[in-house]
Amino acid sequence: MGRLFDFMLPENMSPLTADYTDGLFHFINEASTIVLVGITIALIYFAIRYRRKSSDDKTPVITHNNKLEITWSVIPLFITLIIFSWGYKGWLNLKAVPDDAYEIHVTGFKWNWAVSYENGAQTLNEIHVPQGTPVKLVMKSRDVLHSFFVPDYRVKQDVLPNRYTYVWFQAEEVGESQVFCTEYCGTSHSNMLAKVIVHEPDDFKNWLEMNGGAGGSGDPVEAGKELVNLNGCQACHSVDGTPGIGPSFKGIWGKEESLADGSTVTVDENYVRESILNPGAKIVAGHDNVMTPYEGILSDEDITNIIEYLKTIE
Amino acid sequence: MEAVKTSEKTTLQVKRFKPSENPTTNFFTEERGLKAWLTTVDHKKIGLMYLGAVAFFFALAGFLAIALRTELWTPAKTFIEADTYNKLFTLHGAMMVFFVLVPSIPAALGNFILPMQLGAKDVAFPRLNLASFYIYLIGAVFTFIALFMGGFDTGWTFYTPYSSDGDSATVIWVTLGVFILGFSSILTSTNFMTTIHKLRAPGITWDKLPLNIWALYATSIIQILATPVLAITILLLSLENIMDIGIFDPAKGGDPVLYQHFFWFYSHPAVYIMIVPGFGIISEVITTFSKKTIFGYWAIALSSLAIAFIGFLVWGHHMFTSGQSPVATTIFSFLTFLVGIPTGIKIFNWVATLYKGSIDMKTPMLYVFIFLFLFSIGGFTGIMLGALSVNIHLHDTYYVVAHFHYVMMGGTLMALLAGLHYWWPKMTGKMYNETLGKVAATLIFIGFNMTFLPQFVMGAQGMPRRYYNYIDQFTPFHQTSTVGSYVLGVAFLIILYYLVKSLMSDEKAPANPWESRGLEWQSTSPPDLHNFDHTPVVINKPYDYHRPMEEFQLGLAVEHNGHGEAHDVDVKETEQENS
């Protein structure tokens, strides 16, 4: 412990994925510091020792020195090859998911992370995982590129709309770790945050059972509210009237909205349905066309439930 | 005197001459007025017009940087909205890369200096040279059209499918601007390569070529080979946006990772387009102010070419987390380390040049020292980012932001400032204030490190780039960085002040204030419209600092002007001297 550059790295919460990276990070930093100090001392020493005394100073003709050239080509080559192999080994480790890893599905979309578990439990922007167990996240995007990054675990992976990607880690301590989106994705890119929440294995089981089968209460208003939360609608549409990227849901039902093209529309069932499935069709004045279409993501029943919920927000 | 033709070489009889210290005319006085400037085919005037344009865009993009840093003073909103912030960082990046860094050294300083270092009257195609400048301006106009249409917020990388989503009209305008700009680069490079091959003065054999020319030569190769790929990429992007053909957008059946391959196939070599010309300036300045022969001439010259070629094979190191094939990732990481070696060789050779020199710490030399320190840090952190497992952690964080600012600003821009101060008396005939020059250089060094060192730390701790809001723990790093950027701002204002002031002053700079042995310094300051009174015959090597200044006169062919002969000439002097 106690390496020179320890202050630069966040706490290591997943040694199985982070140890290789941290070791190499320290090695490169320390080796670089030695060479940089050497270069700097040489620069300062030469500048003082050989400062110009008069304009008639005579300098020797030293055109080249093959031994030196070979030395400072081969030694760095050697060191960089070590770094390459070390980095390669650590990277293979990041790619090789343990066979017994626990799988969780993660979907990135503007600007939230939707998470679903084996028993149908769903969470938004919270990834609940068991402690001391390898966890594999299978990820995809619903719209543009995103990137899933947990500094505490030293893992990062772009999330793409046209293929699945994955990361794995094994959190050793109960607690929370920050998740960032690191691929620029528009207005609220910097708010696309989440937490990994690590439970003791038994607690995780309990949590999973309690949350299984979300939205099963049977009450359309409650189900609609759940859907609005799980799909991250509130990232852009507030429920308390605060202006946001999209129009607030507060008092929206039956409202007359002016559209960007100058016409007006009344917020009714058909308008809400159209705005969910094809958001670009009728844009309310003062807002941009940035919403992801939910065609194929929300069922007709889901939309009906959301409409029932919207009616209640006054 | 007779030119004796041997089987391989021509021997040219020459006598020496020295350009006048007090010329009655120079290129400023010979063609006057706005029209003469706008229609000029003189490489010096075109170079200065480029310099003015680059300075304008630098000021604009630099101002944006200050605005961005000010917004980041607090974790939430400080004074602008998220959408505005996203547009500003996009514009800052796009302008700095395409309008400042790419053309700065080759098109501005290179245009002025390259023909003079070759002893030529002008570049090979003077009209094409003027056309390049106007194409550059047209490209800029397209970008401003996009700005007035509401701006664009895609980041300078224009990653799909974000860039093809929603309001893509502005993206089409700005990418077309970049497309047009590319032709300016291609034409300038074609011009430079032709000039280097065909217009070298008699006596300049390949081993007498200044290292600045080697660097510009390597740059030109990269520009000619890489820029068309950017053009193709942009064309495909526009086709997709306008005609709905699925190329990069998965919603239309395309692949976003393909876009990244295309984009970085240009944009990684573009990094070398930006930095290699800087290497040329460092070699010129470090020899002049240490009054010493360059150490490892061929090592430096050939490492530029090595960088130019290997630089084409490493683009995938921008994509380690993108989902590209694991085999490709491994190979790209390996090649990335290889491209670091020639860069290291250069640094070591420059430091070795200082050994037993006669070092005069004037402003240009101060910038060279700053360059060597900052660029070394840029190089080491590049090694860090090339290492696969570490890259996964650091990719798209502020660590990367700090790294490329150390390379681009600590490298290219410091070299540009070294060159600007070094050639200022040559270009303008005026001398800047040395004390203010050193004050500004010191402030830049302090401000730069204050701005970007904290970014390494917060990046390694996880702070992602392109973030408008951030979590509280990063506040102290962001605030230090913001203060540093203000120091940088002040330093650049000081530079602007003393350079403008020197232009206004009546005091004339000497023709060769640094006693440089470079060919461009053997002309008058500012140079005559045609650079030299006669076609010079080059007798000495460019870095023969061990020989007294008096020997550094130009040769003049006695019988004929030396043209029509091969460049492989043996120079033989006549006894009579003319000084």
Is residue B200 domain-resident?
yes
Q: Which of B426, B448, B421 is nearest to B436 (CA)?
A: B421
Token pair, residue A44, equals 């300062």
Lowest-pLDDT choice from A20-24, A252-256, B306-310: A252-256
Which residues of chain B does A165 touch, with a Cβ-Cβ cutoff of 8 Å?
323
What pLDDT sits at residue B354? 96
Q: Is the pLDDT of residue A215 over 60?
A: no
Q: How far apart are CA B519 and CA B505, in angstroms?
A: 27
Q: Does B341 touch chain A (CB under 8 A)?
A: yes
Q: B401-423 pLDDT, tens per residue? A: 999 999 999 999 999 999 999 99
Q: How far apart are CA B533 and CA B255, in angstroms?
A: 59
Is residue B153 domain-resident?
yes
How many of the other CB atoms lie within 10 Å of CB of A44? 12
pLDDT band at B561 (very low <50, low <70, confident <90, very high): low
Q: Is the pLDDT of residue B576 over 50?
A: no
Q: Does B500 touch chain A (CB under 8 A)?
A: no
pLDDT band at B184 (very low <50, low <70, confident <90, very high): very high
Residue located via tokens 């992007």: B237
C-alpha B561: how far from its chain's center?
A: 34
Q: B424-452 pLDDT, tens per residue? A: 999 999 999 999 999 999 999 999 999 99
Residue located via tokens 């070299």: B415
Q: What are the structural domains, with CATH classification, of chain A?
A: 6-49+61-95 (1.10.287), 102-211 (2.60.40.420), 220-312 (1.10.760.10)
Q: Is the pLDDT of residue B262 over 70?
A: yes
Reported as type and span, the H/E element at residue B14 is strand B10-17
Q: What is the mean pLDDT of chain A?
A: 90
Give the closest-approach CA distance of B340 to chain A in angstroms.
9
State the total domains in chain B: 1
What single-letter amino acid sits at A211? N
Average pLDDT over residues A271-275: 86
Q: A1-22 pLDDT, tens per residue? A: 578 999 999 999 999 999 999 9
Lowest-pLDDT choice from A169-173, A244-248, B191-195, B373-377: A244-248
Q: A75-121 pLDDT, tens per residue? A: 999 999 999 999 999 999 999 999 999 999 999 999 999 999 988 88
Lowest-pLDDT choice from B202-206, B328-332, B395-399: B202-206
Give the closest-approach CA distance of A44 to chain B in angstroms.
9
Residue B307 near residue B339 (C-beta atoms within 8 A): yes
Residue B143 near residue B94 (C-beta atoms within 8 A): yes
* Yes or no, beta carbons of B467 and A165 under 8 Å apart: no
Report strand pairing: A155-159 vs A112-116: unpaired
Give the closest-approach CA distance of A241 to chain B in angstroms.
19
Q: What is the gyration radius of the CA atoms in chain A, in angstroms?
A: 28
Return the DSSP state at A147.
Answer: E
Reported as type and span, the H/E element at residue A78 is helix A66-95
Average pLDDT over residues A249-264: 87
Question: What's the CATH code of the domain at B475?
Answer: 1.20.210.10
First and final C-alpha spacing in chain A: 58
Q: B356-393 pLDDT, tens per residue? A: 999 999 999 999 999 999 999 999 999 999 999 999 99
First and final C-alpha spacing in chain B: 20
Q: B3-55 pLDDT, tens per residue? A: 444 445 566 677 777 777 777 788 888 888 899 999 999 999 999 999 999 99
Report strand pairing: A194-199 vs A126-130: parallel
Q: What percent of chain A has pLDDT over 70?
A: 98
Average pLDDT over residues A54-66: 90
* Yes or no, beta carbons of A87 and B546 under 8 Å apart: no
Range of the domain at B406: 27-504
Return the higher-pLDDT residue of B566 and B332.
Answer: B332
* Yes or no, beta carbons of B383 and A55 under 8 Å apart: no
Which residues of chain B does A179 touch, with a Cβ-Cβ cutoff of 8 Å?
none
Give the closest-approach CA distance of B426 to chain A in angstroms.
20
Is residue B514 domain-resident?
no
Q: Is the pLDDT of residue B355 over 90?
A: yes
Q: Does B573 touch chain A (CB under 8 A)?
A: no
Q: How far apart are CA B124 and CA B110, in angstroms?
A: 14
Which residues of chain B does A149 touch, with a Cβ-Cβ cutoff of 8 Å?
396-397, 462, 464
Is residue B90 domain-resident?
yes
What pLDDT sits at residue B534? 80
Residue in chain B lying closest to A70 (CA): B345
Average pLDDT over residues A47-75: 92
Of B293, B383, B465, the CB nearest to A62: B293
Which residues of chain B does A109 touch, with a Cβ-Cβ cutoff of 8 Å?
none
Give the closest-approach CA distance of A205 to chain B in angstroms.
30
**Which residues make beta-bridge pairs with B557?**
B14
Is residue B557 domain-resident?
no
Angle at which helix B43-71 crosses helix B414-428, to 10 degrees, equals 140
Q: How far apart are CA B565 and CA B311, in angstroms?
A: 36
Q: B132-145 pLDDT, tens per residue? A: 999 999 999 999 99
Contacts of residue B200, defined as CB under 8 A and 6 or more positions apart, other chains included, come to B118, B119, B120, B209, B567
**Which residues make beta-bridge pairs with A258?**
A264
Cis peptide before B75 (omega within 30 of 0): no
Q: Does B439 touch chain A (CB under 8 A)?
A: no
What pLDDT sits at residue B579? 39
What pLDDT sits at residue B53? 96
Is residue B317 domain-resident?
yes
Give the closest-approach CA distance of A63 to chain B in angstroms.
5
Residue B464 near residue A180 (C-beta atoms within 8 A): yes
Cis peptide before A111 (omega within 30 of 0): yes
Residues in chain B: 579
Is residue B36 domain-resident?
yes
B contact residues 307-326, partner A, Cβ 8 Å cutoff? 320-323, 326
- Which ipTM was obtained for this model? 0.91
Is residue B12 domain-resident?
no
What pLDDT sits at residue A7? 93
Report strand pairing: B10-17 vs B554-557: antiparallel
Residue in chain A lying closest to B385 (CA): A25
Token pair, residue A21, equals 């990276």
Q: Which of A1, A180, A71, A239 is nearest to B465 (CA)?
A: A180
Q: What is the mean pLDDT of chain B?
A: 90
Q: Is the pLDDT of residue B307 over 70?
A: yes
Average pLDDT over residues B250-265: 90
Report strand pairing: A102-109 vs A135-141: parallel
Average pLDDT over residues B324-352: 94
Q: What are phi and psi of B7, to 5 degrees?
A: -65, -35
Q: Is the pLDDT of residue B484 over 60?
A: yes
Average pLDDT over residues B466-476: 96
Return the higher-pLDDT residue of B67 and B167.
Answer: B67
